[in-house]
Amino acid sequence: MDHFNYQGDQLCAEQVPLRAIAEQFGTPCYVYSRATLTRHWCAFDEAFGERPHLICFAVKANSNLAVLNLLARLGAGFDIVSVGELERVLAAGGDPGKVIFSGVGKRADEIQRALEVGIRCFNVESESELARINAIAIELGLVAPVSLRVNPDVDAQSHPYISTGLKENKFGIDIQAAEAVYRDAAEQPGLRLVGIDCHIGSQLTSLGPFIDALDRVLLLADRLAEQGIRIEHLDLGGGLGIRYTDEEPPLPDAYVAALSERLGERSFEVILEPGRAIAGNAGVLLTCVEYLKPTPTHRFAIVDAAMNDLLRPALYGAEQEIVPVQRLGAGALSSKPSTAPPGDPYREQIGASLVEQGLESTIESAVKQRGERTVEPTVEPTVELYEIVGPVCETGDFLGRARRLALAEGDLLAIRGSGAYGFSMSSNYNSRPRAAEVMVDGDRVYLVRRRESISALFAGEEVLP
């Protein structure tokens, strides 16, 4: 469940109309719901009951400091794959003792920094990496806590680009070879073995692959115990899917119940690394229709968001629900954003929260800065089949295909399910500034990342003398 719902004909984030947010901050703009993030993290945490566990949010899904800080305050740990993500977690108030460092290509400086701040453990993906961590730990006079990421050769039944648990993938150590690697690691003075890690892929919508992988991991844990190698935790990664269109993935409580049934009386602490399942449906991408372009074969709706803002459709062929910010109905479709009338409570609340942040405090000033729309529809739009595309110079720059919508130029659309792998995968392709990000908390709106300026695009560059 998320907190993006229609109130009358207006789509709202919690108690705030998205139209008001678009008018204040412009488009494209990412909008996150604090209540949804909280609800989704707590669903995982509470499902475990008294069983020892740690829920580590996958920072790669959404690395905004406000998101990380909110989760840190809830007690979350964090799954990172770079020193940049580590520094973000620390800046957001995260506990380094709850940080898991994953990833196949950890540099020496990244390992050193992680050891210095005292992370929870490294998920090690190769024998070469194990040797590097051991050497750096010895040099620093430390002992590195490590778990080995094993590759169980389980088909996640997801897109091949996000399937990570097959033997042909680059991730992890072949589970058949893992025992020997554990035995060798147990002899190294700079290492302390603490767990087994396994992550088979992303956007899984059935429990079967998870349980198959867990069964194989438990067999490995049993064999290690027979050799005197005691494991403290099982890190089962992330991967639980969400509903983008018509998927019906299991909920966290059903997932955890299935894991607990398999674990039985075993005393392992369980670590999970959800990212999408926490943040995905906690965010939308707001975008404005710039042009409607009919051709002999298609009707194109050209919007101001593009593949540089939301890459998933172009990269994976992913489908995300695209809905109007104002639903079809009497007076519901207007190409010109309406400014809230004087005395409007949303206008007053948004203004108040921005004054506290030292930002613009009126909707009118923001509208003036971005330029008011001047195109007025002469007839009420009818439902048509549209290709939703962006301004980027690539045929693959699409956000949605064959979508039934009634559109006019200037209309606002919300792309649901954009809270994960949205902004974090965005780029400056075509020298496009990255979008603003805002967080809604009840009836309050907070700018949590300013829209990138044009000058920032080349601020770090130099011309030759």
Q: In angstroms, rounded to a whole number, what is the distance separating the alpha carbons of residues 196 and 148?
A: 5
What DSSP line would sit under 295-337, residue for residue?
-SS-EEEEES--TTT--HHHHH-----EEESB-SSTT---SSP
- Catalytic site residue 288? no
Other Cβ atoms within 10 Å of 445 Cβ, number: 27
Tell me which DSSP letter residue 238 carries: -
Q: In angstroms, rounded to a whole number, what is the distance separating the alpha carbons of residues 10 and 285?
A: 16
Catalytic residue among 29, 198, 288, 393: 393
Q: Which amino acid is at 273?
A: E
DSSP E strand stretches across 81-183: 99-101, 121-124, 144-151, 173-174
Residue of 443, 281, 306, 455 lying closest to 388 (CA atoms): 306
> What is the SS3 assignment for 55-105?
EEEEHHHCCCHHHHHHHHHHCCEEEECCHHHHHHHHHCCCCHHHEEECCCC
Q: In angstroms, rounded to a whole number, what is the distance separating the alpha carbons of residues 10 and 223?
A: 58
Q: In angstroms, rounded to a whole number, what is the distance separating the alpha carbons of residues 315 and 448?
A: 26
* Distance (Å) of CA 121 to CA 102, 139, 163, 247: 9, 18, 23, 34
125 close to 104: Cβ distance less than 8 angstroms: yes
Other Cβ atoms within 10 Å of 165 Cβ, number: 27
Active site residues: 393
